Amino acid sequence: MKNIWDLFSELSRYYIKSMLSFLLFWIILVVLKIDYLNIVFFILTYIWHFTLLTPGLKEKMLVRKQRFSFLNVIIRINYYLQLFIKIKNVPFGPALVRSISPLLFIFILMTAGGNGNFIFAVLGSFCFELSYYLTNRKIISTPPNDQEMPPAIPNAESFHE
């Protein structure tokens, strides 16, 4: 089984682990018969965190000029939050910084719409970070792939080369 797992790329392994944990949490919420809007809030924050930690996506969004993409807005907001809020000495500090933007977005949606429960948004953030932590723990000591460090944004001169 380990040989088959090694055939997958890093991105494929990330998708499989994250989506299986997402399906597990979604099934739990459906079995508990949670209101549809609360499940949507949970899914929104879960997928938001999933997007922020997708391998290679941050570099693509920061290098390419995709000006009118909501995905680009998500990545850039998180990039600037990581630059200005540095709490690496706090346990799970980068996870707290990553949760600021989706929770702010959910707060704006609740203010405009008036429905929903903010606790499910927090639960979605917590569940993704928990599943990410549990599935990506390394048994052997290898140098960590620091996803929390934002890459440098290239200047306009590098696009002309």
Q: Residues 83-134: pLDDT tens digits? A: 888 777 777 777 788 888 888 888 888 888 777 788 888 888 888 888 888 8
In 32-117, which ranges are continuous DSSP H helix?
Answer: 36-52, 57-63, 70-84, 93-98, 100-113
pLDDT of res. 143: 46
Element (H, E) at 142: none
pLDDT in tens, 123-145: 888 888 888 888 877 544 444 45
Mean pLDDT, rounded, for 58-84: 78
Mean pLDDT, rounded, for 30-46: 88
Whether the predicted pLDDT of 1 surpasses 70: no
CB within 8 A of 107, min separation 6: which ones?
118
- Whether residue 103 contacts residue 45, with contact meaning beta carbons closer than 8 Å, is answered with yes
pLDDT in tens, 140-153: 444 445 555 555 66
pTM metric for this prediction: 0.74
pLDDT of res. 147: 56
Residue 17: CB atoms within 10 Å: 15
Mean pLDDT over each residue of the chain, to the nearest integer: 78
User: Taking Cα atoms as reference points, which of 45, 50, 40, 61 lies closest to residue 19?
Assistant: 50
Whether the predicted pLDDT of 33 surpasses 60: yes
Handedness of CA 129, 130, 136, 139 (dihedral sign): positive
Query: From the centroid of its chain, how far is CA 42?
Result: 13
Whether the predicted pLDDT of 31 surpasses 70: yes
Alpha carbons 24 and 131: distance in angstroms, whole number? 10
Over pLDDT 90: what percentage of the chain? 4
Alpha carbons 38 and 123: distance in angstroms, whole number? 10
pLDDT of res. 153: 64
The widest CA-to-CA distance across the chain, in whole angstroms, is 56
| For the chain, domain boundaries | 10-136
Instruction: Measure Cα distances from 110 to 27, 37, 41, 118 in Å.
Output: 24, 11, 10, 8
Mean pLDDT, rounded, for 18-25: 89
